[in-house]
Amino acid sequence: MQAMARSHPNIALIKYWGKRDTTKNLPAVDSLSLTLGGLWTKMKIDLSLNLDRDELIINGVIDEPNLLRVSQCLDLVIGKNRKFAKIISECNFPISAGLASSSSSFSALVVAANAAMKKESNTQLLAAQAGTISGSAARSILGGIVELNNISNTIRIKQLSNATRWPLSVVIAITDKNKKNISSSQAMNLSSRSSPFYSAWIKNQSPDMKEARLAVKNKDFDKLAAVSEHNCLKMHSVMWTTKPSVVYWNAATLNCMHAIRDLQQIGEPVFFTMDAGPQIKAVCLPENETRIIKRLTEIDGVVSIMKSGLGEAPTSSADL
């Protein structure tokens, strides 16, 4: 009746933006991501307390805004006739700020709930459960470099490279620690209804996936860099042309992008990606990490820097 799980967030290089089914929360496009070993969420669940409602504590503070989604996730994994739970979540990075905290949180919650109920769920079922609550969370069920595919009325995840086969580093420049104004779910639904670029975005995803998959297979950094930046900028173009416009960047985000472009000019293997938030993720090789950190630290508006290598799949322990 109790369990704990620890899971890592992931950042997409080939992004998911838009849903093909809002009820089942199925993504409109395939995606490809890096699981970030240096960042984590620990999720503890206790179903033995005879509570009269679910209780959620995030980083030591009682949380109401996220409780509904957490309860829905538990209903899905355990069933609606379940006991109420106390859920304690701890995270070593800012939440709801475009650092994919929903991916580590909901993958950890799904794994913890399955462990508490002693359910032997396979990887694909865990991914489907996590993905029903947060599309990106499905990819955190595996470590390394992960691909998510749409299969008729569900999804399938696949590990393309484990955490050690091609060790990549990710330097994260935090440019704003505040929560974002609009959630990715709300924003992508608006995009699909109003951006004139949305249909082109959907149509062009599969060539990007093909190129990125091949780059991972061949450990071709330059090819992965080119397709990842292109895909990221296409997603943000869809956001910018949404009505009303969705702009997650700030001035420091743009300054970091320029700094990364300058580093590329002098032959540094590095590329950027941004999600639904103003933080910049610079993907590089481990031997270049120190130089990238140094350059991004100098930029006005960069509040702090985090770094991460690739991480493993979630872990759990039952009967605490």
262: its two tokens: 């300058």
CA distances (Å), 119 to each of 52, 86, 260, in order? 24, 19, 46
- What sign does the dihedral 304-309-311-317 (CA atoms) show? negative
Contact call for residues 76 and 133 (beta carbons, < 8 A): yes
From the list 15-23, 117-125, 165-173, 219-227, the region that binds ligand PMV by CB under 6 A is 15-23
The nearest distance, CB 319 to ligand PMV, in angstroms, is 31
Interacting residue with ligand PMV among 7, 9, 18, 31 (CB under 6 A): 31
In the numeric block, the tokens 């396979």 are attached to 122
Q: Which of 96, 102, 169, 273 binds ligand PMV (CB under 6 A)?
A: 102
* Residue number, 22 or 297, with CB nearest to ligand PMV: 22
Distance CA 285, CA 213 (A): 18
Which among 256, 250, 237, 254 is positioned nearest to 277, based on CA atoms? Answer: 250
Is the Cβ–Cβ distance between 172 and 306 less than 8 Å? Answer: yes
If one asks whether residue 16 binds ligand PMV (CB under 6 A), the answer comes out as: yes
The contact pattern for ligand PMV, residues 35-74, with x = CB under 6 A and - = no contact, is: ----------------------------------------
Minimum CB separation from ligand PMV for residue 16, in Å? 4
CA–CA dist 16, 148 (Å, integer)? 9
Identify which of residues 3 and 198 has a Cβ nearer to ligand PMV in the complex: 198
Q: Which is nearer to ligand PMV, 2 or 136 (CB)?
A: 136
Interface pick for ligand PMV out of 135, 143, 311, 314 (rule CB under 6 A): 135
Minimum CB–partner distance for residue 180 and ligand PMV (Å): 10
Evaluated on CA atoms 229, 108, 126, 71, the torsion sign reads: negative
Nearer to ligand PMV, 15 or 295 (CB): 15
Residue 156, beta-bridge partner list: 149
Query: Residues 81 to 100: which contact ligand PMV by CB under 6 A?
Result: 100
Residue 134 or 242 having the CB closest to ligand PMV? 134
185 counts as binding ligand PMV under rule CB under 6 A = yes
Does position 273 interact with ligand PMV (CB under 6 A)? The reply is no
Query: What contacts 116, CB < 8 A, 6 or more positions away?
Result: 1, 2, 3, 45, 46, 47, 318
Cβ closest to ligand PMV, residue 171 vs residue 235: 235
CB of 206 to ligand PMV, least distance (A): 15
Report in angstroms how near the CB of residue 103 gets to ligand PMV at its nearest: 6
Q: How far is C-alpha 180 from the chain's CA centre?
A: 15
Phi and psi at 230, nearest 5°, equal -60, -45
By the 8 A CB rule, do 172 and 279 touch?
yes
∠ CA 58-169-166, nearest 5°, is: 120
Of the candidate residues 141, 142, 276, 283, the single one contacting ligand PMV (CB under 6 A): 276
Question: Binding residues for ligand PMV, per CB under 6 A?
Answer: 12, 15-17, 31, 100, 102, 134-136, 184-185, 275-276
